[in-house]
């Protein structure tokens, strides 16, 4: 994945003296990357009040496709927004060079439009006389990005700001800029200046019978016929006054959305302008009239006059109804409340045995281990109607000393007792070749790995780890998708009988790993999320690291019905029971599987899930979470298959109960995984420090944490880095501050905002 503009050039622009900020890909306005997606950054103008920090640049550099904007103030930009007359655009550029200085900083986006950058003697207010504008105090411009219309990078034909020190630019002031604008505007013919709404309105016209007050529905409908593509300033203000006169403060969002249609809209200026509007006579009538001139025909049942009663119906009822529908849809796909339940059958029996014999019971981790064990035993014997198999990768996350090892011990014991130890892999995987050798010996196998985070850290580190270690993760990724087909082994140059290619027919590799949160999330980078490595794992974080201790547990004996059930499961439908060591067919033997059907209700439920996920994938396009979303349906169907076979190995059927349980389970923990990725996974040391410090503040809860407490809890940070990160978190809105203490001593307290 190529580096973003911010990652490539952000530090150089900072060193050259410019104040910069992140620009959302495909846009000209500042943006922030949150929870796997780009959102607006309405508070960006705080960057006009201070220099950009190295911590901010390091953080923004991790955001996908982050482009770069330059905050005006110390610099001013002459924006020549002329598209249809290249000669005129060049003529005005030459005038700017003659009057303001021959700047080397010329930016071309969509030619012949152009922008020239100058240094200011002192910041001054910007000047707009469309199609010309001087961008300065309280404004910004895009420096390095792909143009949203052309899809091509903005060009700097001479020298870009990344090559130009701020001090090398020609200096201008407010008077020079104003004089240039007056002279340049004389060169622009009338037809190239944007039309004014005042000029398009019939003098004295009004909409009779309507008060100043309107309704949200009618005003929004009318504004759809008054697009704000590039209106002049006076017309923009006039519409703002009319909206406020029509709707009052309730119209703020309406004006903001309408204003945002313009490519040069500045949210800070829009916010300030709205606060300054004091309409007395202008209102809904103005908006309705302008819209009707442009073809608007309100529906007969639409209420236009907001000053009249509306039969107890809220003026925004249409909008509220849509919001209710949206909220209801979200409630269906992502339930707010999730209660962990243990399914019945063999999965439930094995899990219950683990819990009854555990000194510190861990229901979630025990369930994850049971699913993996049952999945390995039924491997190469059962499949879904879509040819999915029971191969699972599960990670149980809990702190040290929380009892996470117990489930692995139980699985070892019961499989030995049942004569099924051949399905157990070693406690460690030494190399990629070693993994394949184990699968060649036993194609349906379970590996239980302690300290999985440390293992993953080595296997995912392609820069420092030897190839035989990194090949483990590569082979696991390929084996996951090969369970329904043939895994083709490596080819060797020397084929002397000992180096023959070793194929495996329908391998079933199950992996159950346990780890601590710090080791697991610290082992991952953004690339592991994007490339799908993480998406193949069902990640189960314990909600209780230190459950109440069961001091009564002692010696244990597996229940006979559990052992018998596991033997029956491993033998497959219609097979004989008994000691099955060595009974599994070889790695290159064609196997005949039982296809597990599902009820019509279960089939409809999985079809509905597919439609839900398709919509979510489209909404998440371009983010790091599409890989996780794309695997939800597959993993849920695997779990439903395992539970169904556990209920009845002889004649299994996936029921609606199996489907509902599996979908709710996977949905919940996929959501938890995406939240954890946002909170923990980092690609750089700086980003990792920022996220770790934020987690320290999060752990303090609503009571917050003082600066001294935060310092003690983040000893790994240098004082300056800690201060920079805290400042970044405060300005991004992630952290809030307040004071607490006694009458004699006050301390600043930091709390997580959300």
Q: Tokens 């014999």 belong to which residue?
A: 357
Q: Which two tokens stand for residue 172?
A: 């201008």
pLDDT of residue 573: 74
Q: Which two tokens stand for residue 516?
A: 């601590």
Residue 204 to residues 37, 199, 234, 683, Cα–Cα distance (Å): 48, 12, 18, 63
- pLDDT of 674 above 90: no
CATH of the structural domain 345-677, one choice from 2.20.25, 1.10.10, 1.10.287, 3.40.50: 3.40.50
pLDDT of residue 527: 65
Question: Minimum mean pLDDT among 72-76, 248-252, 552-556: which range?
Answer: 552-556
- How many CB atoms are closer than 10 A to CB 710? 20
Residue range 213-221: mean pLDDT, rounded? 86
Q: Which residues on neighbouring strands pair with residue 20, listed in sequence order?
A: 70
Q: Where are the domains of the chain?
A: 5-192, 197-308, 345-677, 685-752
Residue range 497-526: mean pLDDT, rounded? 81
127-129 and 132-135 strand pairing: antiparallel
Residues in the chain: 754
Residue range 382-411: mean pLDDT, rounded? 91
pLDDT winner (highest mean) among 20-34, 194-208, 740-754: 20-34
Residue-wise pLDDT for 338-385, tens only, equals: 788 999 999 999 999 999 898 888 999 999 999 999 999 999 999 999
Higher pLDDT among residues 289 and 510, named by residue: 510
H or E element, residue 128: strand 127-129
pLDDT of residue 331: 35
Q: Which two tokens stand for residue 67?
A: 């482009």
Residue 210: pLDDT band with limits 50, 70, 90:
very low
Rounded-to-integer distance, Cα 95 and Cα 10, Å = 31
- Indicate yes or no: pTM above 0.75: no
Q: Which two tokens stand for residue 222?
A: 């009318």
pLDDT of residue 196: 54
- pLDDT of 42 above 80: no
- pLDDT of 313 above 50: no
Closest to 624 (Cα-Cα) out of 677, 586, 584: 677
Rounded-to-integer distance, Cα 285 and Cα 204, Å = 12
pLDDT of residue 205: 35
Residue 688: pLDDT band with limits 50, 70, 90:
confident
Q: Which two tokens stand for residue 684?
A: 């750089």
Residue range 432-440: mean pLDDT, rounded? 90
pLDDT of residue 269: 87
E strands within 581-734?
594-596, 705-706
Rounded to 10°, the helix 233-247/252-259 angle is 160
Dihedral sign, Cα of residue 588, residue 589, residue 595, residue 596:
negative
pLDDT of residue 208: 36
Higher pLDDT among residues 293 and 254, named by residue: 254
- pLDDT of 565 above 80: yes
- pLDDT of 143 above 60: yes
pLDDT of residue 319: 35
- pLDDT of 278 above 90: no
pLDDT of residue 455: 86
H or E element, residue 369: helix 363-377
Q: Which two tokens stand for residue 641?
A: 């298959």
- pLDDT of 317 above 70: no
Domain 685-752 has CATH 1.10.10.10: yes
Q: Which two tokens stand for residue 33?
A: 């990357």
Residue-wise pLDDT for 64-120, tens only, equals: 999 999 999 999 999 999 999 999 999 999 999 999 999 999 999 999 999 999 999
pLDDT of residue 128: 81
Residue 598 to residues 22, 376, 654, Cα–Cα distance (Å): 50, 21, 4
- pLDDT of 325 above 50: no
Rounded-to-integer distance, Cα 356 and Cα 194, Å = 77
Residue-wise pLDDT for 711-746, tens only, equals: 888 888 888 888 888 888 887 778 888 777 655 566
- pLDDT of 451 above 90: no
pLDDT of residue 391: 94
pLDDT of residue 590: 64
Higher pLDDT among residues 313 and 714, named by residue: 714
pLDDT of residue 586: 62
Residue 154: pLDDT band with limits 50, 70, 90:
very high
- pLDDT of 57 above 50: yes
pLDDT of residue 582: 38
Question: Minimum mean pLDDT among 346-360, 624-638, 677-691: which range?
Answer: 677-691
The torsion of the CA quartet 475, 477, 479, 480, rounded to 10 degrees, works out to: 160
pLDDT of residue 202: 31
CB 162 within 8 A of CB 119: no
Question: Minimum mean pLDDT among 65-69, 257-261, 386-390: which range?
Answer: 257-261
Closest to 393 (Cα-Cα) out of 490, 537, 248: 537
Higher pLDDT among residues 306 and 391, named by residue: 391
- pLDDT of 250 above 90: no
DSSP string for residues in 100-117: H---S-EEBSSTT-EEEE
Residue range 699-716: mean pLDDT, rounded? 86
Higher pLDDT among residues 311 and 20, named by residue: 20
CA atoms within 13 A on the CB side of 417: 17
Residue range 667-692: mean pLDDT, rounded? 83
Higher pLDDT among residues 400 and 10, named by residue: 10
3-state secondary structure of 701: helix
Q: Which two tokens stand for residue 271?
A: 């916010």
- How many CB atoms are closer than 10 A to CB 562? 17
């Amino acid at each position: 994945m190529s580096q973003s503009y911010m990652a490539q050039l952000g530090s150089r622009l900072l060193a050259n003296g410019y104040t910069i900020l992140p620009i959302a890909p495909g846009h000209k306005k500042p943006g922030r990357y949150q929870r796997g997606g780009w959102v607006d950054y309405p508070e960006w103008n705080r960057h006009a009040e201070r220099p950009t920090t190295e911590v901010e640049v390091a953080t923004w550099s991790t955001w996908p496709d982050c482009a770069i904007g330059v905050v005006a103030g110390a610099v001013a930009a002459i924006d020549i927004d002329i598209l249809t007359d290249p000669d005129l655009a060049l003529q005005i550029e030459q005038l700017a060079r003659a009057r303001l200085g021959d700047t080397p900083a010329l930016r071309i986006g969509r030619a012949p439009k152009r922008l020239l950058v100058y240094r200011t003697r002192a910041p001054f207010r910007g000047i707009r006389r469309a199609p010309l504008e001087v961008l300065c105090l309280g404004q910004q411009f895009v420096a390095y990005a792909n143009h949203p219309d052309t899809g091509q990078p903005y060009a700097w034909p001479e020298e870009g700001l990344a090559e130009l020190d701020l001090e090398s630019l020609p200096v201008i002031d407010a008077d020079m800029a104003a004089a240039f604008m007056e002279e340049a505007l004389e060169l622009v013919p009338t037809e190239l200046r944007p039309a004014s709404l005042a000029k398009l309105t019939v003098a004295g016209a009004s909409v009779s019978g309507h008060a100043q007050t309107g309704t949200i529905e009618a005003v929004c409908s009318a504004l759809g016929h008054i697009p704000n593509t590039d209106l002049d300033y006076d017309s923009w203000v006039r519409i703002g006054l009319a909206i406020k006169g029509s709707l009052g403060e309730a119209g703020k969002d309406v004006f903001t959305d309408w204003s945002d249609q313009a490519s040069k809209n500045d949210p800070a200026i829009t916010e300030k302008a709205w606060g300054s509007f004091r309409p007395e006579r202008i209102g809904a009538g103005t908006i309705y009239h302008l819209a009707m001139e442009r073809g608007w025909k309100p529906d007969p049942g639409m209420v236009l006059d907001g000053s009249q009663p509306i039969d107890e119906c809220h003026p925004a009822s249409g909008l509220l109804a849509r919001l209710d529908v949206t909220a209801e849809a979200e409630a269906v796909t992502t339930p707010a409340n999730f209660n962990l339940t243990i399914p019945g059958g063999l999965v439930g029996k094995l899990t219950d045995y683990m819990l009854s014999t555990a000194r510190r019971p861990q229901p979630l981790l025990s369930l994850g281990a049971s699913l993996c064990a049952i999945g390995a035993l039924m491997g190469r014997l059962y499949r879904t109607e879509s040819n999915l198999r029971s191969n699972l990768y599960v990670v149980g996350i809990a702190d040290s000393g929380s009892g996470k090892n117990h489930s692995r011990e139980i699985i070892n014991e019961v499989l030995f007792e049942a004569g099924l130890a051949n399905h157990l892999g070693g406690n460690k995987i030494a190399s990629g070749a070693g993994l394949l050798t184990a699968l060649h010996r036993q194609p349906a196998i379970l590996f239980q790995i302690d300290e999985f985070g440390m293992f993953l850290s080595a296997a995912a580190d392609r820069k420092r780890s030897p190839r035989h270690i990194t090949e483990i993760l590569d082979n696991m990724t390929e084996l996951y998708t090969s369970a329904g087909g043939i895994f083709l082994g490596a080819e060797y140059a020397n084929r002397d009988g000992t180096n023959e290619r070793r194929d495996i027919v329908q391998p079933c590799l199950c992996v159950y790993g346990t780890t601590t949160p710090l080791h697991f999330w610290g082992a991952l980078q953004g690339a592991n999320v994007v490339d799908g490595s993480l998406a193949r794992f069902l990640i189960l974080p314990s909600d209780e690291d230190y459950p109440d201790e069961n001091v009564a547990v002692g010696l244990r004996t597996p229940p006979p019905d559990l052992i018998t059930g596991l033997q029956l499961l491993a033998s497959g439908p219609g097979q004989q029971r008994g000691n099955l060591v060595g009974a599994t067919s070889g790695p290159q033997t064609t196997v005949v599987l039982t296809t597990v059907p599902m009820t019509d209700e279960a089939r409809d439920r999985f079809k509905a899930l597919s439609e839900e996920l398709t919509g979510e994938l489209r909404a998440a396009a371009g983010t790091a979470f599409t890989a996780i979303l794309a695997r939800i349906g597959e993993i849920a169907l695997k779990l439903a298959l395992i539970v169904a076979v556990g209920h009845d190995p002889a004649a299994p059927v996936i029921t609606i109960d199996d489907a509902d349980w599996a979908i709710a389970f996977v949905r919940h923990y996929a959501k938890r995984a995406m939240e954890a990725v946002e909170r923990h996974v980092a690609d750089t040391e700086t980003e990792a420090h920022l996220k770790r410090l934020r987690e320290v503040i999060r752990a303090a809860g609503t009571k917050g944490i003082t600066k001294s407490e935060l310092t003690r809890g983040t000893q790994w940070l240098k004082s300056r880095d800690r201060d920079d990160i805290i400042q970044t978190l405060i300005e991004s809105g992630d952290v809030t501050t307040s004071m607490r203490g006694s009458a004699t001593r006050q301390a600043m307290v930091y709390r997580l905002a959300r």
